[in-house]
Structure formats: structure tokens, C-alpha cells
Amino acid sequence: MFKKILIANRGEIACRVAATARRMAIRTVAVYSDADAHANHVRACDESVYLGGSAPKDSYLRWEKIIAAARATGAEAIHPGYGFLSENEDFARACAEAGLVFIGPPAEAILAMGLKAESKRLMEQAGVPLVPGYHGADQDPALLQREADRIGYPALIKASAGGGGKGMRIVERSEDFAAALASCQREAINSFGSDAVLIEKYVQRPRHIEIQVFGDTQGNCVYLFERDCSVQRRHQKVLEEAPAPGMTEAMRRQMGEAAVNAARAVNYVGAGTVEFIVEQTGGYDAPEAMKFYFMEMNTRLQVEHPVTEAITGLDLVEWQLRVAAGEPLPLKQEQLQIHGHAIEARICAENPDNNFLPATGTLHVYRKPAQHTAFQRGRVRVDDGVREGGEISPFYDSMIAKLIVHGATRAEALARLDAALAQVHIVGVATNVQFLRGVLATESFSQAKLDTALIERERAVLFDREPLGLPLAVAAAVTQQILGEWPGTQGGPATGFARRDGWRALGTYTRPFEFEFRGEPVSAQLSYRHDGGLHLALGDTAGPLAIGRFPDGRIEVEFDGGRHTLDVYRLQSVAHVFGAQGATRITAVDRLAHAGDTQAEGGRLTAPMPGKVVSFAVQPGDKVAKGQALAVMEAMKMEHTIAAPADGTVEELLFAPGDQVTEGAELLRLAA
């Protein structure tokens, strides 16, 4: 076994690999960029080496510096994690040439499976079912459109070297094909360095089911069952679970054997995932009528590997290390078993109500479920690479953490996941935590009516949700403020004239509060009664307000017929309220501070987050209509289109394609 390895990655996966290595008494070397100088993965390893600038091209993609770091520190092997260089055959080959073990498959297997068109041809030869499509080398746009017309619409354009939902477009009509192709190729060449694409039939009502495979250097290969990854947004996974709901034993065996055949076709070694699109020809309740087609093979460890670990009781990183060291697979196929059900939720810095726009900022509050541990069934597990006070930067993926739960049944796991998500408190950046809880509560997910359109199908109940409501939000904000004014008390104010809470010896004092809630102004009045009671009124809702504070900082609010235990965090003028049923935010308004703030934004169009200007679709003098695409930005590995908020005329472009811009930077001016 290795004595020391270098982990050529960052964030939660680097911390994850380091944890297993530490348990196996293997020393670890971290690498880091400017942005990650004080990151958790650096602390998790025994030593670390600086690579360069914050952008991946200046640090984590510089494989020559990574190899030099491994040799300088005496590392015997390199674990690439996922993303970055994990599926780069040149890097795998360079490791071997440098006398280092690449903890992953051979370079030839990465190359064969990395090009989607080539992998489709190999799978056809291996007898693995394929989706009808075009996988040829001729990339003439006219030919590609003819092939899409032949296959029929909706059709799917996919970057041949792609993955992770990037370089992928669904085309509904022939007349939209050319624009979608150009956009897909642009994103593909930015992400993967190649604009080659393939065209496939877009399967209706599809499920995304993948098989975990493992091979060793002795020629053994097994499958560690399946994961359902159907719940996706923007072609990227949101929730993953194992085993797949509704999977029959016969289909599990067929898909597993097909995945092993796919791996054997390229002499695969190590951890890999064979991804299938599953067509539900008989509807959600007819699993026996499902058909599966090979989609792609990921030649690395997957983000969602913890759910497989949970149901098998195995440490897949340990398997990777043992196989890379030349050991045989620890178990044979007949020894592998499924125990219970596991679900993983990806907690991301993003705004679901704004088309999942990624967010950046400081994690002023980052609280995790009280009980969590790794590699143990029946418990809650958190994989992350961040800490409270850390930064979510624009340079890397928006994922903050992975929350994994295991239960005896799917229903038990689902309930456990919702309870765990309720204990995740994040303040400082927008997140998808409440959105995830909403998905769990939908009929589609709770009843396992799964397909990749689930989020769109449930849009009416998933977006623009308010789980707590105005009365409780106001009561929480008022309570948090007045308890902060009462020194050192748990149940109420001090006695008599030493109190600073508005108490009067005679009569009642009414105190006004002004808030903004969901974009609307809210006025409330808090009355301090002579008997010591509080009375809160806002609009048509009014009544006694009973409050208290627990030693752990939580507050208790009784108002409008309900009693609630809440966590409230104040960040500047915003109160972030977390309760069992969800979370919300409400802003305290200082009328004096805003009295002179009357300047309108006018025709300014600004960057929604830090990133790079990819292109402008207009020139000065052009007349545009509301909703028309004006510019494309790239940030956090995704493209974002800036659209016209109203009809108007372009006055000036303030940047050029390729320019880096900060959040809020004015990109162009639009005159009415």
C-alpha cells in the first residue's frame, strides 16, 4: 500500500479522500490556489504545495506543476478526485511517465470513454443498448441539422467531450437548431477544449439511472448496484438515491451486466460509472416496461458515490486505493448486497427562484445537522470542504456540501433527509436548501414518480415558496430585536425602571416597526402593556405576543395561534429566520436612512455575479424587445444570458468579450 499520496483537487472531495487516507495510515499532500490558501482541504492534509492563481487554468489544471509537487514531496500516487484533471488522459499518461501511480483508469480507457462518439461505437460493438442518434466525425453544421431532422424532435445536442450538463442543449424545432448548436459548441470549447458534438433522440419521460462499476488489474470487474439521478436542474443532478425506486431484480441484473460489459470493453481499472437513460414506456408504475440505453461512462469517482457507500457499507475511496496499489477487488459480485435506502442532496450556493443563478459571498453562518458521521448506516453524513466564515468564490463549482442520509426504507430516508435539511442554516449566500425540502415534499418525488422533468412538472409548488408566512416572519424579527435589547435574560425583561423595553408605569406604549418582506413594505405595531404583556398588530392580524430565549440562543415565539421555536440570525438589517417548517428572511427598514435614496436605476444592465463576458448579441443603436438576449456571461462553469428588461435602444457596450467583470458591474446601457 502507498505511504503517501497527493490529492490533485480541492473542496469536499479532497477532504473526503484525505479522510480515508488518514484512516489507512497514508500520508497526504494537498495542492492549493490563491483562493484556497486557507481552505479546509489544505488543513485536512499532512502537507501542502502552492500551485498558482485562483482560476483553475492557473492552478488545478496545471498538471506539470502537480506532478512536480508529487515528486518533490515523495508522493507515490496521485488521486485526481472528480472534475479538473480526473478524466484527462494526458495527465494520466504523464503520471505514469513520471513514475507515479494515477489513482484511476488507464489513459486509454479515459480516452475511449471521454469522446462520446467513440464510446458509442465501442458500446455498440459490446452489445450495450444505444439511444438512436448521430455519433459521426463529420461536424458540418448542415449535416448535423439533417441528422437531427432525420432523428426527429425534440433532439439533444451534446458535447462529445462533455459532462456535468455542460455543452448540452435540447432542441424542440428544426428552425431553432442552428442557434442551439452554436451555443452548445461555444460552451463546449470553453469547458472541454473541443466543440465536437453528437446528436441523439431526446427520450421522453426519461429517468437517469447509473451503475457503479469497479475493475482491478487482475481482470475482475463488478457492479455495485445502481443510483437514480433523475432529479436535475439545467441538466445537473440535484438529488441522488440508491437503490433506484421501482427497479426490478431482473432489470438490475441486466443493467449491471451491461455496465460491466462496457467497462470490460476498455479494460477498465478502478471506480467508474456507466450512465443510462431509461425510457418509461409503460408509465411510472410499470417498471417491467422500462427500456435502458447507454448514455456515457464517467471514468472517475462520482459526486454521488456516498449513497452507494451507504447501501453497501463500503468505502469506495479505499477500494480505489487498494486497486491502484495492485490489490484485487475486496469482494466478488455474489458477495455484494443492498442494505436499506440512501439519498444525497447537493447543497449549492444558488438562487432557485432566479433560474438557479450561482451565488458568491461569505458564509457568515454555516450550521450543520447536530449528528452526522461518515461511512455509517442509519446516520446523517455531511461531506463538505467549507467552514463558517469561509468564502464561496466565483472560480469553482457552486456546491457547498453534500448531505447524505440512510434509512431502512425509502420513506424513512426521505423523512430523515428533510429533518436534516431543516437543521442546515446558511447565511451570507443564497442556497437551494429550501428548494430541496420542497422537492422532497412533492407528490412526484415522495411517490417516486421520477423523470428528468420532475422539477419543471412541479414548478407551481417549487418556486417562489414562502414556508413561514408574513405573521411569523414579523413576529420573529420583532422578537429577535427586542430580546437583543433586554440584557442577559431568557424569559423576559428585567424588573421595573431598569428595563429598556418600552415598559411604562401607567398606560401603554406602542412602538412602530417597518419591514420589507418579499419585496413589499410591511408596517407593524408592538404595544407594551402595563401588565407586562406584549401585543403585536400587522394589518388584519393582531394578538398577544409571548416570547422567550433558550440557553442555546434559539427563541420561542407564540403568536397568531401558534408556538414556534426558531433560530434567527441578524446580518446587517436582514433577519434570517429558520424553523422546522422552513426558512425565510425579512428586512428591517430605517425610514430615515432611506429618505434620500430616490435615484432610479434607469437603463442600467448589470452583471448578476462575478464572471467573464462571453459575447454581446447587440451593438450600439440596435433596437431590442423585452426578453431579448443581449449578452452572455460565464461564471462558476456555466453560461448565463442577460436579457432586456424592457423594449429600448442600446446606447453603449461597456465591456468587450473576454473581459472579467465584478458583480453589479454595468455591462451596457439601454435607453427607453
Each residue of 262-290: pLDDT tens digit? 999 999 999 999 999 998 877 787 877 78
Catalytic positions: 300
Strand partners, 277: 208, 293
The pTM assigned to this predicted structure is 0.83
119-123, 167-171, 326-330, 604-608: lowest mean pLDDT where?
A: 604-608
Q: What is the pLDDT of residue 375?
A: 46
The whole-angstrom separation of Cα 434 and Cα 362 is 19
CB neighbour class for 84 (10 Å; exposed up to 12, middle 13-18, buried from 19): buried
List the chain domain ranges.
4-103, 132-201, 206-462, 470-594, 604-671
**Does residue 334 surpass a pLDDT of 90?**
yes
Q: The domain 132-201: what is its CATH number? A: 3.30.1490.20
Pick the CATH number of 470-594 from 3.40.50.10190, 3.40.50.1820, 3.30.700.30, 3.40.50.920: 3.30.700.30
What number is the average pLDDT over the span 384-408? Answer: 94
Encoded amino acid at 160, one letter = S
Is a pLDDT exceeding 90 seen at residue 82?
yes
As a whole number, mean pLDDT of residues 480-484 equals 86
pLDDT cut 70: percent of the chain above it: 92
590-638 per-position pLDDT tens digit? 765 544 443 333 455 888 777 888 899 999 999 999 888 899 888 766 6
Please give the Cα distance from 639 to 415 (Å, whole number).
35
- What pLDDT does 671 receive? 87
Res. 193: pLDDT tops 60: yes
pLDDT attached to residue 596: 43
- Return the pLDDT at 506: 59
pLDDT given at position 394: 87
The pLDDT value recorded for residue 489 is 43
Residue 639: the pLDDT is 72
Report angle CA 569, 574, 579 to the nearest 5 degrees. 45
Q: Which is more confident, 135 or 240? A: 240
> What is the mean predicted confidence (pLDDT) over 397-402?
94
**Nearest-angstrom CA–CA distance, 77 and 398:** 28
| Residues 210 and 274: beta-carbon distance below 8 Å | yes
Question: For residue 494, is pLDDT > 50?
Answer: no
Using alpha carbons only, give the angle 259, 250, 451 rounded to the nearest 5 degrees: 70
Question: At a CB cut-off of 8 Å and minimum separation 6, what does 138 contact?
Answer: none
Q: What per-residue confidence (pLDDT) applies to 530? A: 79
Work out the average pLDDT over 192-198: 88
Q: How far, in Å, CA of 567 to CA of 641, rounded?
A: 36
Evaluate whether 470-594 and 604-671 have a shared fold.
Answer: no
498: pLDDT strictly greater than 50: no
Residue 428, pLDDT > 90, answer yes
Mean pLDDT, the chain, integer: 90
Bridging pattern class, strands 101-102 and 77-79: parallel
Q: What pLDDT was estimated at residue 507?
A: 64
Give the least confident one: 59-68, 76-85, 272-281, 325-334.
Answer: 272-281
Q: What pLDDT score was predicted for residue 227?
A: 98
604-671 to CATH, choices 2.40.50.140, 2.40.50.100, 1.10.3210.10, 1.20.20.10: 2.40.50.100
Least Cα distance to 208 among 132, 299, 273, 133 occurs for: 273
Q: Contacts from 55-62 at CB under 8 Å and sequence distance 24+?
A: 55/395, 56/84, 56/395, 56/396, 58/33, 59/31, 59/32, 59/33, 59/34, 60/8, 60/9, 60/10, 60/31, 60/33, 60/84, 60/85, 61/85
The answer to whether domain 4-103 has CATH 3.40.47.10 is no
Q: Which residues pair with 515 in a beta bridge?
A: 522, 588
How do beta strands 77-79 and 4-7 pair? parallel
Lowest mean pLDDT among 139-153, 396-410, 454-468, 487-501: 487-501
Residue, of 596 and 480, whose pLDDT is higher: 480
The pLDDT, as a whole number, for residue 292 is 93
Q: Answer yes or no: is pLDDT of 373 > 70.
A: no
Q: Does CATH number 3.30.470.20 belong to domain 206-462?
A: yes
Q: What is the rounded average pLDDT of the residues 525-548? A: 91
User: Which residue did the predictor score with more confidence, 193 or 22?
Assistant: 22
Residue 496 has pLDDT above 50, yes or no: no
Structure confidence by residue, pLDDT tens digits, 502-513: 555 556 788 999
> Quick check: 387 pLDDT over 80?
yes
Rounded CA separation 469/309 (Å): 39
**Exposed/middle/buried for 155, CB within 10 Å: 0-12, 13-18, 19+?**
buried
Picking from 205-214, 374-383, 646-655, which range would have the lowest pLDDT averaged per residue? Answer: 374-383
**Residue 243: is the preceding peptide bond cis (ω within 30°)?**
yes
